[in-house]
Amino acid sequence: MSGLKIAVCIKPVPSPDQYHRVGIDPRTKTLVREGIPTVINPLDKNALEAALQIREKCGGTVAAISMAPPAAEENLREALAMGADEAYLLSDRAFAGSDTLATSMVLAAAVKKLGPVDLVLTGNESADGGTAQVSAQLGEWLGYPHLMHACGLEVMEDGFIRVDTAREDCRVAYRVKLPAVVSVVRTINKPRFTSLMGVIAAGKKPLSVWTSGDLPVDENFLGLEGSPTKAGDIYQPDLSRRCELLEGSAGEIAGAVLQKLRAAGLQL
């Protein structure tokens, strides 16, 4: 099969060295990320690399899609510098506080607007929410077959794709009719680095910003209000623990531990 149209979902996540700055909004119980630098979700770089390798083999185009605040334009420019042909930033205050169902609905609306897409690639999970729910939901909204844990992809001649999936102790291979949604794991490939030429070329590639008004979204599933998942309470667990250093020979320490466990009421 040649000339595939591939869409890759790219989630901007807080930069790991900035996690300490991520707060919680006491009213909406959602994460406060404003002003915190973001990076491309690591597994989404694997998804993008997989798309670029398919394009190199079969031809076609690669579009990167993010539902995120305006600052995510920088992350999409990085995806263009890695080699994506075009990028779409789905950005609207109406999307704020979206749970996975609301997020996947907006992503599906963007894929529908892009017109016939042959393959949608995502990471298996994000580094922040980490629910691993979005890609399967995306498949449901689009009515496409969807597979997770992909560690190998091969486009076949007859409009099918072979997907190798990683299990604890084995690999299971599937033959899936396109269009389909596939989420990838880290072992599928080694994402390429962005080159200086890539960064320069990215400046000339199209990056469009779409709001809810530009998308065939389902108003019932929009943002915090439209999200069926309501966070009950979010709090920082008290991680302070009492610590006591025991000294002496191994036998003495073992004896002391036994005594303390018995003092704590354990029948030993």
Q: Give the residues lining the site for ligand FAD (CB under 6 A).
A: 9-11, 31, 41, 43-44, 47, 65-68, 98-100, 103, 107, 122-123, 125-126, 128-135, 229
Q: How far is the CB of 197 from ligand FAD (least distance, A)?
A: 26
Whole-number Å distance between alpha carbons of 120 and 49? 13
Whole-number Å distance between alpha carbons of 180 and 5? 12
Task: Compare residues 7 and 155 and give the one whose CB is closer to ligand FAD.
Answer: 7
Q: How far is the CB of 231 from ligand FAD (least distance, A)?
A: 7
Task: Compare residues 1 and 69 and give the one whose CB is closer to ligand FAD.
Answer: 69
Task: Compare residues 67 and 87 and give the one whose CB is closer to ligand FAD.
Answer: 67
Print the SS3 string covering 112-128: HHCCCCCEEEEECCCCC
Q: Are 87 and 210 in contact (CB under 8 A)?
A: no
Task: Compare residues 32 and 201 and give the one whose CB is closer to ligand FAD.
Answer: 32
Q: How far is the CB of 124 from ligand FAD (least distance, A)?
A: 7
Which residue's beta carbon is nearest to the bound ligand FAD? 129
Element (H, E) at 110: helix 100-113
Looking up tokens 């995120």, which residue turns up? Answer: 68
Q: How far is the CB of 135 from ligand FAD (least distance, A)?
A: 5
Q: How far is the CB of 155 from ligand FAD (least distance, A)?
A: 20
C-alpha distance from residue 184 to each of 137, 147, 206, 229, 259 (Å): 15, 9, 26, 25, 51
